[in-house]
Chain A
């Protein structure tokens, strides 16, 4: 049992919701639209134990901060998509030129992160923890995705497998998830 197996039962409810939510969305009434949203409920409760001490573990970070590298990556669309397009993932290297980072996200006030990136992309703090021996290492890349994705079908079928593949490619052994 997994979340993919719960999709067929959920998809008709989502299609009905899209139709019902359109008038609200057109008027910018997101609160009313999501008030009737059919929350997805997955099958089972997956769980994997951390198999070794944190001080020997390689950690990977995922943030929904809406970050992209100016001139190298396409900026995120600040608003959620309802269609089945696979959501994009932007990869931010640890040694990124931070002056090139931009934020595109309509769901939060960017001022905190613009003042101190560690508010939702805590690379400096993680490096300090690594230097102190509290964690083993940090993956060379952070994965950035958009939050609030109403259509979970492309999320489950495309985005999550791609995140898993990128983490495995970076030998990530445990994941830290930081929403905005």
Chain B
């Protein structure tokens, strides 16, 4: 996903990646990533947990807007 993110940016499309495995997503140097302590297979939030799912998406959108250079990261939780 990191390489896809980089390719989109190079083509002029800003992008943000959510990751639950920073050691795997980090080496490819994605332009923006949100690090979440969530499960593989439920990277936006657990089933039925709309509040967490919305929080993930809102933080992704916020990072898209606030990042001022490559390697931007939100590592809150």
Interface of A toward B, CB cutoff 8 Å = 2-3, 39-42, 45-50, 53-54, 59-60, 62, 64, 107-113, 115-116, 118-120, 122, 124-126, 128-129, 134-135, 145, 147, 152, 155-156, 159-161, 163-164, 167-168, 172-180
Contacts and interface: CB of A to CB of B under 8 A. Distances in A.
A59 B3 CA distance: 19
Interface residues of B, number: 51
Contacts of B13: 48, 60, 164, 167-168, 172-175
Given A42-B29, A50-B64, A177-B4, A119 B57 contact: no
Given A174-B15, A178-B44, A3 B3 contact: yes
Contacts, number: 173
Majority SS at the chain B contact face: mixed
A54 B43 contact: no
B73 interface: no
B58 A175 contact: no
A84 B36 CA distance: 32
Given A119-B43, A135-B61, A47 B7 contact: no
